[in-house]
Structure 1
Amino acid sequence: MSKQEILQTERAIALVKKTFSENLCDALNLYPISSPMIVNEGTGINDDLNGIERPVSFPVKFLNNNHGVVVHSLAKWKRIRLKELSLDAHEGILTDMRALRPDEDSSPIHSIYVDQWDWELKIDEQDRSLSYLKKIVRLIYQSLLKTEEAIYETYGYKRTLPQKLSFIHSEQLLQLYPNLDPKDREHAITKEYGAVFIIGVGHKLSNGEAHDSRSSDYDDWSTISEEQYHGLNGDLLVWDYELDRSLELSSMGIRVDKSALEHQLRLTDSIDKSKLYYHRLLLTDQLPLSIGGGLGQSRICLFLLKKRHIGEVQASIWPEEVRLQTESEGIQLL
C-alpha cells in the first residue's frame, strides 16, 4: 500500500469518527464527555462482559496496594456518571472509550485493543419497553446511514447498508434456523436482510441455551417484552461483503432496574455481587434508569471503508503468523 493510500485511509477514519459521533449526539441528545481508562478493582464498576475475560490489573502505589484495572467497557461507570451529572430524562453522554481485552481472539474482526463509542441515555420508567428500545436502535442506525453517505460522497466507498433495519428476537431466530449454531444463525439472517438487530441476548432460549452470554448486571435480558419474549437488549449486525460474514457493530440495551438486577443475579448464581459498590447503589435506588451500549469504532471503520482486517484501521499488536498471513494477502496492518 502506498503512502498516499495509507494517508487517505487515515483521513477517512477521522471522517468516520467525526461524522458518526456528531450524528449520534444529535440523534440521541448526548453530551460528549471525558471517561477513564482505569477504574478501581473490587468496586463492581468494570464491565464483566460475559464473566470470564480477565481485566488488565496492576498495583497502584497510592491505593495502598490495591489494584487498578483497565476497563473492558464503561457500561456501569456511565450510569454512575449520569447520576453525578444530574441529567434530565432523555439526556445522555457519549464517551470515546479505550480498553484492553487480553483474552480477545486475534482475527480479522478482533483485537485486544478496543475502541468504541460508549453511550448512555437517561430514561423514564415508561421507556423500559421493547418499543422504546427499537426506537433508539433505529436512531442509531440512521446515524450509521448518514455516515456511510458522507464517506461515499467524500471518498467514493460504496454504500451497502439497506435503508431499513430489520428486527428479530433470538428465539424467533432459533426457530427459523434450528439446525444452526448461534453464530451461523447470525450469518444467515444478516446475509438475507443486510442489517439486523437481534433482540434478547443473555436469557436461555427454548433449547436451553442462550443466544450469547451477557453479564447479569448491566443489560436487562430477563424481563418479558411486549412480544412475550425475554429481553430488552440486543446486538446490531450488518453484512460485510468484503469478509462475507455478519459483523456485530453494537451491543446495547435497556439497563437493569433493581428488580431485574436481583433476578439476574439469582439466575446467574452471582448474588455475592450485591455487596459491591456499584450494585449497592443500584439496589438502593441511587442510580437513574437508562439505556446504553457500545459501538465499535474500528468495526464501523472496517465496515464503511471496505477493509479486510481490523488492523487496517487501528494500531494494535498481532501474532507474527497473522502479520505474515496478511502481508501475503496484500493487507498492510497499521
Structure 2
Amino acid sequence: MDYKLQIPTGYYPQLNIQETEQAIKLIKDFFELSLSSELRLRRITAPLFVKKGSGINDDLSGVERPVTFPIKSMNDDQAEIVHSLAKWKRLALAELNIEPGYGVYTDMNAIRPDEVFTNIHSIYVDQWDWERVMTNDERTVDFLKYIVGKIYSVLRRVEYVVYENYPQLKPVLPTKIKFIHTQDLAEAYPDLSPDEREAVVTKKYGAVFLIGIGAQLPEGQKHDGRAPDYDDWSTEAPNGQKGLNGDILLWNPILERSFEISSMGIRVDKAALNAQLAIEGQEYRKELMWHKMLLNDELPLSIGGGIGQSRLCMFFLKKAHIGEIQASIWPDEMIAKCKEANIPILK
C-alpha cells in the first residue's frame, strides 16, 4: 500500500461526527458567500469532465494521469474527468463576457488517481475554483498580493465565525499573511528541501504566500512544478525574480506542518504561454483548441486559483486527517491505524 500517515500525539477530535457535518456546512456556506462578495465573483456551474485533446484539462505538474472514459453516443470519443478547472474558467469568462474587476467561481469535484494517500491528500478533490478578469496594467506582483490579501481576510472571517459557534476551536491565524519569494526562501535555507523550507517559514509566520512556483531557481532547481499553460511563472520582475503565482500556506498546529490551502496566480498571456511552452518543450500544445484561442486573443487576461474545500474545513475544525471531512476510498490498513488513534475516517 502506498500511503503516508502521521498520527498526532494525544489526538482526539473536538467535534463529533454530527457536529462536524454541521460545521462543514457552516464553513462552506459562509466562505462561499464571503469570497464571492470580496472578489466580486458570480457562481456558475462547472463540468465534471471535458473532451480529451481539447487542451482544457488542468495538467497540474504535467505527470498526473486523468481518469479517461469513452462516450458511447459520440463514437467512443474520449472524455477526461477534470483535475481542476484552471483553464476552463477562462473560457467561461469569455463566453459570459465578464468585465475586468469581476469574475466567476464554482464548486469543482475531481479525481486524481495518482495521488499518494496522506493526512491531507485524497484521490477525491473538492475545491472552489475561481477566476477574475483583469487588465494588462494589473499583471504585477503588487496586484497579486492585493488579491491574496482579500482572500486571506476571508479566511480570518471564517475562522472567527467557526469560533463563535464552537468556542473550543480557538483562532490561530495571524493578523497578516507574509509574502516571500521562493528565491529568497532558497537563499535563506540553501541546505533544506523545498518542503522543509516551507515548514520553517510557515511555522515562523503562521501564514505565508509563497511567490514564484514553477520557474527554475538560480540554484538550478524548481521549488515545485507547475503546468506551463495556466499560471504565469516565467515573467521577470524588475528585481530579477520570476513569477506571478504562488501558494497560500498556513501553519497547521495539529499536524505541525505547512498546510497548503490554495494554489493561484495571474494567468499566462500570449508571451508567457509561448515562453513557458518553449521552456518545458511542449510547444505542440499551441495546436490545441484552448491554446489557439489564447494566442488569438479570444480569452481575457485573468487571475484565478483553487481553494481546497475539505482542506479548509480540516484546518478550521482542527482535524488530523482529511478523511474526517470527506467520504472517499482509503487503504484498509490506514483506516485501521486511524481508528486506533481516535481518527474517525468517513467511508
- Which bracket does the TM-score occupy, shorter chain normalised? over 0.9
Out of 97-106 and 61-70, give the one that drifted further: 61-70
- What amino acid sits opposite 2:234 in the alignment? S
Match of 1:184 in 2: 196
Select which of 10, 26, 49 maps to 1:38.
49
Match of 1:6 in 2: 17
Q: Following TM superposition, by how much is the alpha carbon of 1:227 offset from its aligned partner in structure 2, in angstroms?
A: 3.5
Match of 1:77 in 2: 88
Q: Following TM superposition, by how much is the alpha carbon of 1:63 offset from its aligned partner in structure 2, in angstroms?
A: 2.1
Out of 4-13 and 299-308, give the one that drifted further: 4-13
Equivalent residue pairs, number:
333
Determine whether 1:94 maps to 2:94: no
Q: Following TM superposition, by how much is the alpha carbon of 1:225 offset from its aligned partner in structure 2, in angstroms?
A: 2.1
| Secondary structure in 2 matching 1:324 | helix
Q: Following TM superposition, by how much is the alpha carbon of 1:61 offset from its aligned partner in structure 2, in angstroms?
A: 1.1
Determine whether 1:224 maps to 2:233: no
Distance 1:96 1:313, change over 3 A: same
| Secondary structure in 2 matching 1:223 | coil
Match of 2:34 in 1: 23
The answer as to whether partners of 1:195 and 1:237 remain within 8 angstroms in 2 is yes
Match of 1:144 in 2: 155
Distance in 2 (CA, whole Å) between partners of 1:30 and 1:118 is: 11
Match of 1:158 in 2: 170
Distance in 2 (CA, whole Å) between partners of 1:252 and 1:227 is: 22
Distance in 2 (CA, whole Å) between partners of 1:187 and 1:226 is: 28
Determine whether 1:210 maps to 2:222: yes
Distance in 2 (CA, whole Å) between partners of 1:32 and 1:189 is: 34
Determine whether 1:289 maps to 2:301: yes
Q: Following TM superposition, by how much is the alpha carbon of 1:162 offset from its aligned partner in structure 2, in angstroms?
A: 0.4
Distance 1:227 1:150, change over 3 A: farther
Q: Following TM superposition, by how much is the alpha carbon of 1:321 offset from its aligned partner in structure 2, in angstroms?
A: 1.1
Distance in 1 (CA, whole Å) between partners of 2:150 and 2:182 is: 21
Distance in 2 (CA, whole Å) between partners of 1:230 and 1:267 is: 14
Distance in 2 (CA, whole Å) between partners of 1:159 and 1:231 is: 32
Distance in 2 (CA, whole Å) between partners of 1:7 and 1:272 is: 51
Select which of 314, 317, 328 maps to 2:326.
314
The answer as to whether partners of 1:130 and 1:226 remain within 8 angstroms in 2 is no
- What CA deviation, in whole Å up to 9, does each residue of 1:215-254 have, x standing for no partner? 0000000001244310000000000000010100000000
Match of 2:182 in 1: 170
Determine whether 1:67 maps to 2:75: no
**RMSD between superposed Cα atoms in Å:** 1.1
- What amino acid sits opposite 1:210 in the alignment? K
Distance in 2 (CA, whole Å) between partners of 1:287 and 1:180 is: 40
- What CA deviation, in whole Å up to 9, does each residue of 1:89-129 have, x standing for no partner? 01100101000000011010000000000000000010100
| Secondary structure in 1 matching 2:197 | helix
Off by >4 Å, runs of 4+ in structure 1:
none
Q: Following TM superposition, by how much is the alpha carbon of 1:206 offset from its aligned partner in structure 2, in angstroms?
A: 1.2
Percentage identity across aligned positions? 51
Unaligned runs of 5+ in 2: 1-11
- What CA deviation, in whole Å up to 9, does each residue of 1:174-198 have, x standing for no partner? 0111100000000000000000000
| Secondary structure in 1 matching 2:254 | coil
Select which of 44, 49, 53 maps to 2:64.
53
Unaligned runs of 5+ in 1: none
Q: Following TM superposition, by how much is the alpha carbon of 1:200 offset from its aligned partner in structure 2, in angstroms?
A: 0.2
Match of 1:323 in 2: 335
Determine whether 1:122 maps to 2:133: yes
